[in-house]
Structure 1
Amino acid sequence: MKKIVFLALTLLGCCACESDDLCDQTVNTPRLVVRFYDPNNLRTPFSVSNLTVYGEGSSTPLVSKATLDSLALPLRLENPTTYLLQTVVSGTITTTATLTLSYTPVQTFVSKACGIRTYYTTLSATLQNPNHSWLKGLKLRNTTVDNEKKAHLHLYH
């Protein structure tokens, strides 16, 4: 009788085990890729000097005093996301542009091991007061943010 109970418990234990799932792919939530251009030369990216980027309501910069021609910005699940882009005009004088991004987040289940991936559709972007900003305009290149291979948004300065 003891052997039957032991055998039954062993068999039950083996059947109750779950295999270890390993995520065999990279599952990243893509960021919004932004490229900077001179409005008079739309073919070649044009770097911004001393750029600092803050998420609205945050005192910790995502980018600090960098010179770059592109950047990748994370989008929140809560809609919209607003960024403050500051650049140094001269000395310690800065000017700030406000970029607001609206979109629809879409979450997809990849697997138990990999989890959930989020991408964004119906992207729209606006600049607050572009006539009084160091950023002179924008062009939305792609309304779906599902990878980081190409720029989604062009900003002109």
Structure 2
Amino acid sequence: MKYLKFILLICVLGTLFSCGGDDDICESGEGTPRMKVAFKSLQTGKTVTLDSLYVAVDYGSGKVQLGKLEKIGSRLIPLRVDDSPYTDVYFRLSDKGAESQVRINYTTKSTYVSPGCGIKKYYENLTSALTTPNPVQKLEEGQNQIENEDKTNLYLLF
């Protein structure tokens, strides 16, 4: 009976000490950063808050709707993580309204982060082209690299 208690105690202690932190969760900002887009008025050039914004992104297999946000001053948009040199992003102000297409061109750089997070992509040399100009009237470049989600990379002028 003593040996059974001893073996059971060793198994319980071994289980407690073998439990570590989750290495498969990438939640402390170590993943691939998203592009930050903010909005300005075409007349004044000052930042504005939009009543609603619908965003869709083409990740290579057709448009994916990212949904609607209301009372929005900026939006984080994930870009493609494959080897494509561009991502097409679509903006609308209403559900069935006109849609603007913006092509974001870039070069990528990859860095290994951890077994759980895998590889993190950085985007450099960002340039944008307004393909379809309604409702977005003009683009204004912000920071031309994406290393984190703090700085605005693109301004949409309405």
TM-score between the two structures when normalised by the length of structure 2: 0.72
- Cα deviation, residue 54, structure 1: 1.0
Asked if 1:109 corresponds to 2:112, the answer is yes
Out of 120, 123, 134, the residue aligned to residue 120 of structure 1 is: 123
Aligned to 1:51: 53
CA RMSD, 1 decimal: 2.4
Amino acid of the structure 1 residue aligned with 2:67: V
CA contact (8 A) 2:88 2:102 kept: yes
Distance 2:96 2:33 in 1: 33
1:100-139 residue CA offsets vs partner (Å, 9 max, x unmatched): 1111111112344553211101111111143xx1111111
1:65 positional shift:
5.4
State the aligned residue count. Answer: 131
What residue identity is the alignment partner of 1:28?
A: G
Task: State the distance in 1 between where 2:103 and 2:109 align.
Answer: 19
Partner in structure 2 of residue 86 of structure 1 = 92
Q: CA deviation at 1:49?
A: 2.5
CA distance, structure 1, for counterparts of residue 116 and residue 21 of structure 2: 5
3-state SS of 1:63 partner: strand
Q: What percentage of aligned pairs have identical amino acids?
A: 25
More strand by share: 1
Counterpart Cα distance in 1 of 2:96 and 2:117: 46
Choose which of 48, 70, 73 in structure 2 pairs with 1:69: 73
What does residue 13 of structure 1 align with? none
TM-score under structure 1 length normalisation: 0.72
CA contact (8 A) 2:31 2:117 kept: no
Larger Rg: 1
Please list the CA deviations of residues 81-106 of structure 1 after superposition, one character each: whole Å capped at 9, or x if unmatched: 10111123xxx751110011111111
Post-superposition CA distance 1:27-84 (Å, at most 9, x none):
12110000001023334x21223321111322x4202253312100001022311011
